Amino acid sequence: MNHYVGIAGTNDLKSTNLKLMQYIKNHFSEKAEIELVDISDLPVFFKNKDRVIPEKAAEISMKIEAADGVIIATPEYDHSVPAVLMNALEWLSYARHPFVGKPVMIVGASYGTLGTSRAQAHLRRILDSPELSARIMPSSEFLLGHSLQAFDEDGNLNNEEKVTLLDGLFEDFEVFSNISKHLTNANDEQRKEVENYSWKD
Amino acid sequence: MKLVGIIGSIADESYNRKLMLYIASHFKETIDIEILDIRDVPMFRAGMEMGPAVEYLNKKISAADGVIIATPEHNHTTTAALKSVIEWLSSSVHPFADKPVLLVGASYFEQGSGRAQLDLRQILESPGVNALVMPKDEFLLGNVKSAFDENGNLKEARTVGFLESVMGNFLKWIKVLKAMKKNNDVKGDWESEDLTASQEIDTTVKGVDMKAEDWVEQAAAKTNAVEGDTYVKLDRGLLTVNQLNWFLNTMPVELTFADDNNQFIYYNRMDENPKDMLAPRQPKQVGDPLESVHPERALKGVKHVVHTLRTGETDLVSMPVPFINKVNEKHVMHYYKAMHDEDGRYRGINEWVVDIWPVVESYLKMTGQKLVADENAKVDATSGASEKKEEPVATPETDATSGASESETKVEEVKVAEPEVDATSGASES
């Protein structure tokens, strides 16, 4: 059974992305172990002379390093990834680089119709940057629009088509994660490169 | 011009801070740029009260004419610290709405924060933020470690030159947007133009009868106006009031100033016999509301002209003067130009009246050319609003019929100053 880290890219306890992440954890509990990590309390990222990262960030970093993959649910604020998630990704690409070569699946929920399409595109670009170098599952998108109406009282998705799509995507992600275990030839070099990367701005 | 500069980095050492400090100091003679720090802004959280740091930014940005943002690039995008600020400022308050924004950025390597700027542009243009990011220039400062000298100045003259041109464009961008905004604020249609000048403005001299024949003297006493040899500092120059008068009085055009309250407050031909003027004015008329210096029948046209300029529908209305123009002898034109202050607010009309025929005549003489009537041309020779007779460009016969005496009586009628709006000016239609 694969072990994944699940990140809801929010610090809002009422977020439907948190709900979506919890649903994914429960819905696929027979197939994989998904551990949700909380990114909401990290301080605002700042570069410091000694390259120190908060203990909490180091902890998350180690969990990701040990995981077979990461599932991220992103809200969309101002047509882009919320600052709180960008912030976590900055801490998780500074000093330690747990995302290098790590399989990532992106999902997202929004109150409106679009279901975070723009934030997901933004998140892909971020995860693809050298300091993160994640292995994002290609050709897959899970956009959950009208998310306030999307769950029943038990926290399950109430739209069959959406469930079927998510099932398929998750199956693919399992395969993708397993394949990715063999796609490691460049990882050491990539890691070296990012560790030498200057973070001065 | 008051701008604020936001540094999108909270790092201990930041080249973007350096860049912003340089910009603020390099332009300090002409632009006031206040640098805002985002260090104390907490991570945005939906539903949380904004603290004093966010309130401070909100106040500063709201009051500014424009915003310059310097963004570093983290993970191919802008920083979480800056994004958090923008989220705060697009949640319960929206100071960026309709605010002109200029993006700049510096990076350690050659990319110069190009990707971060592109993302930031998209973020700022999203509906919750609604900023007006300047659409053309991108100021990307790559390889920043070698870009500044020990005094914090940019080393490359070319880079400085480009920055100056970007800033010039940004100031224009601010002005254009301001003009657009102000125009939308104008309430009512052309008929609501108040020619009685009862809508007191900041420059209106209170407590003096506008119609008084000595309005100028009374108003000058009231405001302790300077005169004579006292110096007045202008945008780019320094003149005494006397020098200013000599200068204006010898302008080759008749100038009239009507303020945005539609009060006639200045003309530059005080010593001239009104009969000798192209558009007669009298010293005692100065201070009058526009209504008092026009005959009843012209008021509609005046309202049209003023309103067209006030709303920014056009910046300039021009029309030939009826009655006194004679083909190939005299062609007097009235020009009405909207004036705006540095905030783009409409401040009244600069009217000039000039006979353009001498210019045409001397040009023909100098270049050895002559005018030939265009058979196909249609011109509005009469320029009355109601009667739009279309005649081909003047023929010698029309010229011959206009006698001197007739023209003089007509001049008296022109004393009513502004003719009715000519349909060709575009003011009355639309």
Residue in chain A nearest B141 by alpha carbon: A201
Cβ pairs A/B, distance under 8 A: 130
Q: What is the DSSP letter of A63?
A: H
Instruction: Name the band, by pLDDT with cuts 50, 70 and 90, for residue B398.
Output: very low
Residue of B nearest to A200 (CA): B108
**What is the enclosing helix (H) or strand (E) of A26?**
helix A16-27
- The verdict on a CB contact (< 8 Å) between A78 and B41 is no
Under-50 pLDDT residues of chain A: none
Residue B368 — left, alpha, or beta (φ > 0 → left; ψ -120 to 50 → alpha)?
Answer: left
Checking if the pLDDT of B38 tops 90, the result is: yes
Say if B422 is an interface residue toward chain A (CB within 8 Å). Answer: no
Q: Which residue of B has its CA nearest to A89?
A: B75
Smallest CA-to-CA distance from B277 within B328, B336, B348, B351 is with B351
Q: Which of A84, A198, A199 sits opposite B44 (nearest CB)?
A: A84
The dihedral built from the CA positions of residue B154, B156, B159 and B165, taken in this order, carries a sign that is positive
Chain A contact present for B336, CB below 8 A:
no
Q: Partners of B354 in the beta sheet?
A: B333
Write down the mean pLDDT value for chain B: 86
Nearest to A201 among B86, B108, B126 (CB): B108
Domain locations in chain B as residue ranges: 2-185, 197-425
**Which residue in the set B80, B90, B109 is minimally distant from A86, CB to CB?**
B80
Which residue's structure tokens are 């720090």?
A: B37
What pLDDT is recorded for position A196?
Answer: 72
Q: CA–CA separation, B267 vs B256, rounded Å?
A: 4
The residue in chain A having the minimum alpha-carbon distance to the alpha carbon of residue B105 is A201
CB-based contacts of B113: which residues, under 8 Å, 6+ apart?
B16, B71, B72, B73, B105, B106, B107, B140, B141
Give the helix, strand, coil percentages of chain B, each rounded to 5: 35, 20, 45
A80 min Cα distance to partner chain B (Å): 6
Beta carbons within 8 Å of A179's beta carbon, 6+ residues apart: none
The shortest CB-CB distance from B14 to any of A40, A125, A201 is to A201
Q: Is the dihedral of CA B165, B166, B169, B170 positive or negative?
A: negative
Please check whether residue B124 is in contact with residue B138, taking contact to mean a CB–CB distance below 8 angstroms.
Answer: no
Which chain B residues contact residue A87 at CB under 8 A?
Answer: 43, 80-81, 84
Query: Distance (Å, rounded) from C-alpha B104 to C-alpha B118?
Result: 11
- The number of helices, as runs of H, and strands, as runs of E, in chain A is 6, 6
Q: By C-alpha distance, which of B280, B300, B279 is closest to B291?
A: B300
Q: Residue A78: its chain B contacts at CB < 8 A?
A: 83, 86-87, 90, 123, 126, 128-129
B13 interface with A at CB cutoff 8 Å: yes
Question: With an 8 Å Cβ cutoff, are B42 and A90 in contact?
Answer: no
pLDDT at B380: 53
First-last CA distance in chain A: 42
Is pLDDT at B424 greater than 70 in this prediction?
no
Least confident of A150-159, B78-87, B162-171, B190-199: B190-199
User: Could you tell me the two tokens for A201?
Assistant: 């701005």
- Superfamily for domain range B197-425: PAS domain (3.30.450.20)
Query: Alpha helices, DSSP H only, in B140-261?
Result: 157-185, 215-223, 241-249
The residue among B323, B289, B324 whose CA lies nearest residue B306 is B289
B184 vs B246, residue with greater confidence = B246
ipTM of the complex: 0.90
Which of B43, B115, B119 to probe by mutation at the A interface, max A CB count within 10 Å?
B43
What tokens appear for B165 in the block?
Answer: 């041109």
Query: CB of A103 within 8 A of CB of A127?
Result: no
Contacts of B145 in chain A (CB under 8 A): 200
Contact at CB, B115 and A125, closer than 8 angstroms: yes
Are B76 and A128 an interchain contact pair (Cβ–Cβ within 8 Å)? yes
The pLDDT assigned to B112 comes to 78
Q: What is the pLDDT of residue B182?
A: 61
Nearest to A86 among B9, B83, B106 (CB): B83
How, if at all, do strands B231-234 and B237-240 pair?
A: antiparallel
Q: For the domain B2-185, what is the CATH superfamily, name and number? A: Flavodoxin domain (3.40.50.360)
Nearest CA in chain A to B42: A44
**CA distances, B85 to each of B58, B90, B364 (Å):** 10, 9, 64
- Residue keyed to tokens 């067209």: B308
pLDDT digits (tens, 9 = 90+) for A184-195: 888 888 778 777
Query: Three-class SS of residue A15?
Result: coil
Q: What's the confidence (pLDDT) of residue A3?
A: 98
Mean pLDDT over B192-217 rounds to 94
Name the residue with tokens 């192209």: B278
Q: Biggest alpha carbon distance in chain A?
A: 52
Considering only CB atoms, which residues of chain A are within 8 Å of chain B? 11-12, 14-15, 40, 42-49, 77-84, 86-87, 89-90, 93, 118, 122, 125-126, 128-129, 131-132, 198-201
Min Cα separation A183/chain B (Å): 22
CATH entry 3.30.2130.30 includes domain A2-195: no
A90 CB neighbours in chain B (<8 A) are 74-75, 79-80
Q: How many angstroms away from the CA of B143 is the closest CA of chain A?
A: 11
Q: Are A105 and A137 in contact (CB under 8 A)?
A: yes
HSE (side-chain half, CA atoms, 13 Å) at A137: 24
Instruction: Classify burial at A146, counting beta carbons within 10 Å of its beta carbon; exposed 0-12, middle 13-18, buried 19 or more.
Output: middle
The pLDDT tens digits for B61-111 are: 999 999 999 999 999 999 999 999 999 999 999 999 999 999 999 988 777
Position B421 scores a pLDDT of: 39
Which residues of B are less than 8 Å from A72 in CB distance?
Answer: none
Given this model, what pLDDT does residue B223 score? 96
CB contact under 8 A, B76 and A46: no
* DSSP codes, B245-312: HHHHHT-SSEEEEEETTSBEEEES-TTS-GGGSSS---GGGTT-BGGGGS-GGGHHHHHHHHHHHHHT
Out of A12, A90, A132, closest to residue B46 by CB: A12
pLDDT value of position A48: 87
pLDDT for residue B39: 94
Q: Tell me B418's DSSP state.
A: S
pLDDT at B397 over 60: no
Kindly state the DSSP code that residue B135 receives in the 8-state scheme. S
Q: What pLDDT sits at residue A197?
A: 66
Q: What b/e string do you get for B36-45 counting C-beta neighbours within 10 Å, with b at 16 or more?
A: bebeebebbb
**Contact at CB, A80 and B13, closer than 8 angstroms:** no
Residue B369 burial by Cβ neighbours in a 10 Å radius (0-12, 13-18, 19+): exposed
For residue B334, which of B404, B426, B428, B425 has the smallest C-alpha distance?
Answer: B425
B105-164 residues touching A, CB cutoff 8 A: 106-109, 115, 119, 122-123, 125-126, 128-129, 145
Question: What pLDDT is recorded for position B430?
Answer: 33
